[in-house]
Amino acid sequence: MQSLHHLFGIADLDTDQVEYLINLGESFIDINHRPLKKAPTLRGKTIINLFFENSTRTRTSFELAGKRLSADVINISASTSATKKGESLLDTGQTLAAMQPHVLVLRHSVSGACEFLADYLGHTSIVNAGDGGHEHPTQILTDLLTLRCAGGFIGKTITIVGDIAHSRVARSHLLAARLMGYQVRLVAPKTLLPAEVERFGCEVFHEFDDAIPGSDVLYMLRVQTERLTDNCCFPSIREYHEAYGLNRKRLNAAAEGCLVMHPGPMNRGVEIATDVADSARALILDQVEHGVAIRMAVLTALCGGQQHLGRPGRSKQMVMEAMRGQGSLL
Amino acid sequence: MSAVDVVIRGGRVIDPANQVDEVCDLWITAGRIGGMGAFDGEAATMIDATGKIVCPGLIDMHVHLREPGQEWKEDIESGSRAAVAGGVTSMCCMPNTGPHIDHAGVALQIIARAQQVGLCDVHPIGAVTKNLDGKELTEMRELSRAGCVAFSDDGMPIWHAGVMRKALEYASSFGFMVIQHAEELNLTRGGAVNEGWVSTQLGVTGMPVEGEDSMIARDIMLARRIDARYHVAHISSKGAVDLVRAAQAEGLKVTTEAAPHHFALTEEEVLGFNVDAKMSPPLRTEADRLAVIEGLRDGTIDVIATDHAPHHEDDKRCGLSCAAFGIVGLETMLPVSLQLVRDGVLSMSDLLAKMTANPARLLGLDSGTLAAGSVADITLFDPDATWTVDRNKLVSKGKNTPWHGKEMTGQVTLTLKSGRIAYAEGEVCD
């Protein structure tokens, strides 16, 4: 299996790599339940979370993942950085890279921001924590780990509902489905579907009710209300909820074991009714929990420290070499 | 016979304006074409053109020179140097400068500066509307007197149908041609690449082909009523080529040009977020590319023009969706276009006509010909020589080319401007 230097998206991974990251993530679930949530895996590693868009769960889970593995983690958000002074993404990225972190976790509104920045960053690994409407690979790995824990995803049908056109989560799932052997159905009006999306090999529905039978997972996307009204994508929240909201009636129409997922943050009463969100069939908080484990796995894989699991500390020389960016610790 | 200054010996002389295609000598007297045939006499400069093609200096009717206003991207001098390196001896510069070419002073300034540089003729394209804001017409007669050869708001469409109608009416009253950057902004706003499978894979907003087609359809309807001269800039889609072809079949005065990137490349080029393949209109599908080639073959598209759009690195280094639109083209125009000859789409003479005689005819230029007595603007090229594009070695200040690292077949070896050597052996002769 090819080792990873960056994680830009599912598009750059092969089946073995996805499988490996999910397995590694699974092995990290346990740490998060221990009384002392700390392992030495990434001691001496520096991780910078650079977030140009707002985020609660992704940023926090990357931070916790790094800290629980003993890395030094720094968070920078656009509102408090020199971006406010007009500094470009490139300059901010290069400035941070000059401080020799091992990993830069980047969230940015421009699709391809990670690929773009990687050309200029030397040794620093980049993890895509969501780039525009392009990819959100750690969310998909999280979802797949969550589904594995809930009985598996191979051969299953995941029905993704909502603003597919602007969704990096949907796009990454469409890529992962082909790699990992599950089906994706998309449900949206044509105003919220990107061009030629069926070429991903998915089924496309405009009526939610038509897509429910045969679905193993109903995966609800967040509605960005300002986007809908500004771009004439939808007439009203009221009509959106009527057409595409997941309520108890729709959930009852689904197969008995059908699960509910949402990458968060939810708009209760818009794309998902409160009683559904809080029902036993909803895996939404499991997704959040597994997000920490997956991000531990990704950071570990990128830092080349996976073989350190359960092993005592490293020599001072190895740490120094790693800090100078001269290769991995192994 | 007066003294001959330069003789170009033994080249294949192709002069589409006069249906010449033969191996012969061509000689220059006092900066003008003296004649062609067999020369046996003395001249100050003898140039061996064996194995080369000798043609009129190329005309690129769609160039952004960035002066005045954005000289860090390109200026008239650097643009002129890039032009002669590409075999171009006349070019038309678009009015989206700062200030815009929307009053005579700017046009006069550009022409004077180009004459001072002395490498390449620069013919300004005047703005259709003041400030390119699509509201009030410019003083077209005054701009014409100052040297503007056509009118356009290029970079921006003339989006308002009522303004476009008035522009076509007014311009056509005096025989002026209006060049449209056809783009319905309400369809393309926020877009970075062609809308389709590629934009979907990249997760970037697309620019649907209907943005171009719908505006051309509207404009042709307006031009029909007015019998106006209407020219579609940088045509890129199958639908647009079909519309222009149908308009021409009706006998309307509708013409168009294609840029080399639109018949050489497709949207696949932007996969991997390649900012140097981002331009407007965007690279489109293979079907569109083939339709543009068919338009070139059947004469619907009678001009090749580059839409040379130099940008500074800083304007491109920010990710695909915020990078500036446009690529440089002057130095790759000829070799990229020669592929059409190698593929049997066009004869060498028909291809060269699209970069010489045809734009000269459309714009009323006296260049683009090797007729005796014409200004001796001449390009020599080796159609079979190969070279590799290196963005860092481009003469233009703009390094934004999608052909970096690609091998080209066909190389300009010598460019003469008014009988003087302007480019030879890889060096610009300032």
Preferred mutation among A91, A116, A198 to probe B, highest tally of B CBs within 10 A: A116
Helices within B94-209 (DSSP H only): 104-117, 140-145, 161-173, 185-188, 197-202
Chain A residue numbers touching B205 (CB-CB < 8 A): 133
Question: Which residues are registered as beta bridge partners of B416?
Answer: B378, B421
Decide if B85 contacts B121 (C-beta within 8 A).
Answer: no
Mean pLDDT of A252-276: 96
Decide if B194 contacts B283 (C-beta within 8 A).
Answer: yes
Q: Give the model's confidence band at A88: pLDDT under 50 very low, under 70 low, under 90 confident, else very high.
A: confident
Q: Which residue of B has its CA nearest to A87?
A: B318
Q: Is B151 helix (H, G, I), strand (E, B) or coil?
A: strand
Range with the poorest average pLDDT among A205-214, A254-263, A311-320, B33-42: A311-320
Chain B residue numbers touching A88 (CB-CB < 8 A): 317-318
Does the beta carbon of A171 lie under 8 angstroms from any beta carbon of chain B? yes
**Considering its fold, how many domains does chain A have in total?**
2
DSSP B19-66: TEEEEEEEEEETTEEEEEE---S--SEEEE-TT-EEEEPEEEEEE---
Indicate if A193 and A111 belong to the same structural domain. no
Q: Which two tokens stand for residue A114?
A: 């990670």
Chain A residue numbers touching B201 (CB-CB < 8 A): 11, 171
Indicate if A108 and A195 belong to the same structural domain. no
DSSP 8-state assignment for residue B129: B
DSSP element (H, E) containing B304: strand B303-304
Tell me: the pLDDT tens digits for B314-348? Answer: 998 888 998 999 999 999 999 999 999 999 999 99
Q: Say if A244 falls within a structural domain.
A: yes
- By CB neighbour count within 10 A (0-12 exposed, 13-18 middle, 19+ buried), where does B400 fall? buried
Chain B residue numbers touching A12 (CB-CB < 8 A): none
Indicate if A276 and A291 belong to the same structural domain. no
Q: Determine the distance in angstroms separating the CA of B148 from the nearest CA of chain A, rounded to an integer.
A: 39
Question: Given this chain, do its domains B6-54+375-428 and B58-363 carry the same CATH topology?
Answer: no
Strands B229-232 and B254-258: parallel
Does the beta carbon of A197 lie under 8 angstroms from any beta carbon of chain B? yes
What is the spatial distance between Cα B375 and Cα B32, in angstroms, rounded to a whole number? 4
Q: Determine the distance in angstroms separating the CA of A90 from the nearest CA of chain B, rounded to an integer.
A: 7
Mean pLDDT of A134-147: 98
User: In this predicted structure, what is the pLDDT of residue A121?
Assistant: 87
Domain B6-54+375-428 = CATH 3.30.70.120 = no
Q: Determine the distance in angstroms separating the CA of A187 from the nearest CA of chain B, rounded to an integer.
A: 16
Chain B residue numbers touching A112 (CB-CB < 8 A): 202, 204, 273, 319-321
Q: Say if A144 falls within a structural domain.
A: no
Q: Which two tokens stand for residue A94?
A: 């290069």
Q: Which residue of A has its CA nearest to B196?
A: A195
Decide if A291 contacts A261 (C-beta within 8 A).
Answer: no
Domain that holds residue A277: 151-282
Give, in order, the Cα–Cα distances in Å from B385 to each of B50, B181, B304: 13, 35, 21
Task: Write down the domain spans for chain B.
Answer: 6-54+375-428, 58-363
Q: Which residue of B has its CA nearest to A175?
A: B201
Q: With 50 as the cut, is the pLDDT of residue A111 above it?
A: yes
User: In this predicted structure, what is the pLDDT of residue A314?
Assistant: 36
Does the beta carbon of A199 lie under 8 angstroms from any beta carbon of chain B? yes
What is the spatial distance between Cα A117 and Cα A228, in angstroms, rounded to a whole number? 30
Of A108, A135, A196, the CB nearest to B203: A135
Backbone conformation region of residue A257, classed left if phi is above 0, alpha if psi is from -120 to 50, else beta = alpha
Residue A194 and residue B199: Cβ atoms within 8 Å? Answer: yes
Q: Say if A328 falls within a structural domain.
A: no
Preferred mutation among A114, A119, A134, A174 to probe B, highest tally of B CBs within 10 A: A134
Of B195, B204, B318, the CB nearest to A88: B318
Helices within chain A (DSSP H only): 15-29, 57-68, 89-97, 113-118, 137-149, 168-180, 208-211, 225-230, 237-244, 248-253, 274-277, 284-302, 316-323
Q: Which two tokens stand for residue B355?
A: 């970069």
- CATH top-level class of B58-363: alpha beta
Catalytic residue (choose from B102, B154, B213, B307)? B307
What is the spatial distance between Cα A100 and Cα A47, in angstroms, rounded to a whole number? 9
Q: With 90 as the cut, is the pLDDT of residue A56 above it?
A: no
Q: With 70 as the cut, is the pLDDT of residue B411 above it?
A: yes
Q: Which two tokens stand for residue A21?
A: 């990251």
Decide if B414 contacts B47 (C-beta within 8 A).
Answer: yes
Q: With 50 as the cut, is the pLDDT of residue B428 above it?
A: yes
Tell me: the pLDDT tens digits for B223-277? Answer: 999 999 999 999 999 999 999 999 999 999 999 999 999 999 999 999 999 999 9
Indicate if A35 and A106 belong to the same structural domain. yes
User: In this predicted structure, what is the pLDDT of residue A232?
Assistant: 81
Of B197, B272, B273, the CB nearest to A195: B197
Question: What one-letter code names the amino acid at B423?
Answer: Y
Residue A132 and residue B195: Cβ atoms within 8 Å? Answer: no
Indicate if A14 and A126 belong to the same structural domain. yes
User: In this predicted structure, what is the pLDDT of residue B89?
Assistant: 98
User: In this predicted structure, what is the pLDDT of residue B3?
Assistant: 87
Q: Say if A259 falls within a structural domain.
A: yes
Indicate if A233 and A311 belong to the same structural domain. no
Does the beta carbon of B286 lie under 8 angstroms from any beta carbon of chain A? no
Q: With 80 as the cut, is the pLDDT of residue A32 above it?
A: yes
Tell me: the pLDDT tens digits for A173-223? Answer: 999 999 999 999 999 999 999 999 999 999 999 999 999 999 999 999 999
Could you tell me which of B62, B68, B14, B66 has the C-alpha nearest to residue B36?
A: B14
Contact pairs from chain A to chain B, CB under 8 Å: 67
Does the beta carbon of A90 lie under 8 angstroms from any beta carbon of chain B? yes
Does the beta carbon of A88 lie under 8 angstroms from any beta carbon of chain B? yes
Tell me: the pLDDT tens digits for B288-302? Answer: 999 999 999 999 999
Tell me: the pLDDT tens digits for B137-185? Answer: 999 999 999 999 999 999 999 999 999 999 999 999 999 999 999 999 9
Q: Say if A268 falls within a structural domain.
A: yes
Q: Which residue of B has its CA nearest to A199?
A: B197
Chain A residue numbers touching B322 (CB-CB < 8 A): 110
Indicate if A122 and A77 belong to the same structural domain. yes
Question: Which residues are registered as beta bridge partners of A218?
Answer: A159, A260
Q: Using omega within 30 degrees of 0 as the cis cutoff, is the peptide bond preceding B68 cis?
A: yes
Q: Give the model's confidence band at A10: pLDDT under 50 very low, under 70 low, under 90 confident, else very high.
A: very high
Range with the poorest average pLDDT among A105-119, B5-19, B338-352: A105-119
Q: Give the model's confidence band at A83: pLDDT under 50 very low, under 70 low, under 90 confident, else very high.
A: low
Question: What one-letter code names the amino acid at B136?
Answer: E
Q: With 80 as the cut, is the pLDDT of residue A268 above it?
A: yes
Residue B273 and residue A116: Cβ atoms within 8 Å? Answer: yes
Terminal C-alpha separation, chain A: 16
Residue A112 and residue B319: Cβ atoms within 8 Å? Answer: yes
Q: With 60 as the cut, is the pLDDT of residue A327 above it?
A: no
Q: Say if A61 falls within a structural domain.
A: yes
Q: Determine the distance in angstroms separating the CA of B210 from the nearest CA of chain A, rounded to an integer.
A: 13
Does the beta carbon of A126 lie under 8 angstroms from any beta carbon of chain B? no
Indicate if A129 and A60 belong to the same structural domain. yes
Q: Determine the distance in angstroms separating the CA of A166 from the nearest CA of chain B, rounded to an integer.
A: 7
**Polymer length in residues for chain A:** 330
Q: To 10 degrees, the CA torsion angle through B5, B8, B13, B17?
A: -20
Q: Determine the distance in angstroms separating the CA of B260 from the nearest CA of chain A, rounded to an integer.
A: 26
Mean pLDDT of B99-122: 98
Q: Give the model's confidence band at A77: pLDDT under 50 very low, under 70 low, under 90 confident, else very high.
A: confident
Of A116, A168, A199, the CB nearest to B319: A116
Residue B197 and residue A135: Cβ atoms within 8 Å? Answer: no
Does the beta carbon of A95 lie under 8 angstroms from any beta carbon of chain B? no
Q: What value does the mean pLDDT of chain B take? A: 97
Q: Which residue of A has its CA nearest to B189?
A: A231
User: In this predicted structure, what is the pLDDT of residue B87?
Assistant: 98
Q: Determine the distance in angstroms separating the CA of A193 from the nearest CA of chain B, rounded to an integer.
A: 9
User: In this predicted structure, what is the pLDDT of residue B319?
Assistant: 87
User: In this predicted structure, what is the pLDDT of residue B67?
Assistant: 97
Q: Which two tokens stand for residue B428?
A: 């610009």
Tell me: the pLDDT tens digits for B364-408? Answer: 999 999 999 999 999 999 999 999 999 999 999 999 999 999 999
Of B208, B318, B320, the CB nearest to A111: B320
Does the beta carbon of A163 lie under 8 angstroms from any beta carbon of chain B? no
pTM (2 decimals)?
Answer: 0.92
B307 is catalytic: yes
**ipTM of the shown complex:** 0.88
Q: Which two tokens stand for residue B208?
A: 């649907």
User: In this predicted structure, what is the pLDDT of residue A225?
Assistant: 73
Place of tokens 């830092």: A303
CATH label of the domain that carries residue A210: 3.40.50.1370
Preferred mutation among A110, A168, A200 to probe B, highest tally of B CBs within 10 A: A110
Residue A113 and residue B319: Cβ atoms within 8 Å? Answer: yes
Terminal C-alpha separation, chain B: 30
Mean pLDDT of A104-111: 95
Tell me: the pLDDT tens digits for A280-325? Answer: 999 999 999 999 999 999 999 999 744 333 233 333 344 344 444 4
User: In this predicted structure, what is the pLDDT of residue A108?
Assistant: 94
Chain B residue numbers touching A110 (CB-CB < 8 A): 318-322
User: In this predicted structure, what is the pLDDT of residue B107?
Assistant: 98
Indicate if A86 and A55 belong to the same structural domain. yes
Indicate if A268 and A162 belong to the same structural domain. yes
Q: Say if A145 falls within a structural domain.
A: no
Decide if B129 contacts B100 (C-beta within 8 A).
Answer: no
Indicate if A65 and A23 belong to the same structural domain. yes
Decide if B63 contacts B91 (C-beta within 8 A).
Answer: yes
Indicate if A261 and A169 belong to the same structural domain. yes
Chain B from 194 to 213: CB within 8 A of any A CB: 195-197, 199-206, 208
